[in-house]
Amino acid sequence: MRIRNVDFRIIDLPLVRPFRTSFGTQVDRRILVAEVKTEEGFTGWSECVAMTEPLYSSEYLFECFDIIKRFFLPALFAKGEFRAEEIQSILAPFLGHPMAKATVETACLDAQLRSEKKSLASLLGAVKSKVECGVSVGIASSIPALVDEVTGYVEEGYRRIKLKIEPGWDIEPVGKVRELFPEIPLQVDANQAYQRSDGKHLAQLDQFNLLLIEQPLDEHDIVGHAKLAEVTKTPICLDESIISLQSAQDAIAMGATTVINIKPGRASGYLESQRIHDYCQSVSIPVWCGGMLETGIGRAANVALAALPGFTLP
C-alpha cells in the first residue's frame, strides 16, 4: 500500500457509570481515532487505547498523537510502498510507544485487508464466529452497590465477572460476590496496586476459587510476581507487564505468570498479539483478550482476536 493521507478525530464518550480502579476514576473516555486513506482508494480505521493521563501506562493520548504525527507518519511516507506487516520494523528505530504503534498498524492493516477483501479474523486465524464475553466491575462505593452492579451483569448474561481490587477493597467484597454467585467464573484485577510484602494477604483470596489474580504488582516487577506465585494457589495473570512476545516469553520462563491477558493496543497491535497467542498456545498457557474501554472500532477487532483457539477464557 501507499498512504495518501491520515485524518484524526478526538472523541469524548461518557461512560454508563463511573469506572473506578486502583489508579483513578473515569467518568468519560477520550479517544483518538485514526482514519488512513491509501493511494489505491481504500480506507482503514483504528483507535488509540491510551488514556488521557499517564496513569495506567507511561503512554498518554496526546503523546501518542504527537509521536504519530512527528515521527511515525513521516517514516511511513518516506518508505513509500509497504505492507502492514512491515510497519513494526519500519518504526523499530523509535523506541517504545506500543499504543501509538498499534494505532498506526491497525489502521493500515484495516485498509490493506479491505483492498484484499479479507477479514481480520481470517488473517489472524479465528476459529469461532462468537466469543464468550466477561465484564470488568470497578471499585464500588459500598458492598451493597457492588452487589447490585454484579447482579445486573449476571442477569444480562455476562459469562465472567472481573472485580477491580486495591488494598482495603479486596477480601470482603470478593467474598461477598462469591457467596452470592458460587458458580460464576470470577477473577480480580489489582492494576499494580500491591507490594511484594502483600503475598500472605493476597493468598487469602485462594478460598474464593478465582480464575486468576491479575497484575497485583508493578508492571516491571517480574521477579516479584514469580515470588508471589509461590505463595498463592490462585493463578497469577499478567496484563500491563505483557507488551511484546519477548516479555511474555520471559515472564512465563520465570514462573511469573500462568495466564496472560493480551491487549493488542498495549502489545503494539494485532500481529504481535497473534504471535503472543501462538507462543502461549504452544506452551499451554491460557490467554484472554482484555479491553481498554474501546469504542466499537476497537472492540470489533478485539472480538476477531478473541476468536483464535488459544483464547479459552472469556
169 near 142, Cβ under 8 Å? no
Q: How far apart are CA 103 and CA 35, in angstroms?
A: 10
Q: How far apart are CA 161 and CA 133, in angstroms?
A: 9
Q: Does residue 227 carry a catalytic annotation?
A: no
Residue 253, SS3?
helix
Residue 207, SS3?
helix
Residue 182, φ and ψ in degrees, nearest 5: -65, -20
Q: How many CB atoms lie within 10 A of CB 66?
A: 11
The CA distances from residue 148 to 116, 151, 159, 188, 202, in Å, are 47, 5, 17, 18, 25
Q: Does residue 37 carry a catalytic annotation?
A: no
267 near 276, Cβ under 8 Å? yes
242 near 285, Cβ under 8 Å? no
Query: What spatial distance separates the first Cα and last Cα of the chain, rounded to whole Å?
Result: 35
Q: How far apart are CA 241 and CA 56, in angstroms?
A: 11
Residues 78-113: b if buried by 16+ CB within 10 A, e if exposed: eeeebebeebbebbeeeeebbbbbbbbbbbbbbbbb
Catalytic residue, from 101, 118, 130, 164: name it: 164
47 near 107, Cβ under 8 Å? no
| C-alpha atoms less than 13 angstroms from C-alpha of 280 in its C-beta half-sphere | 30
Catalytic residues: 164, 263
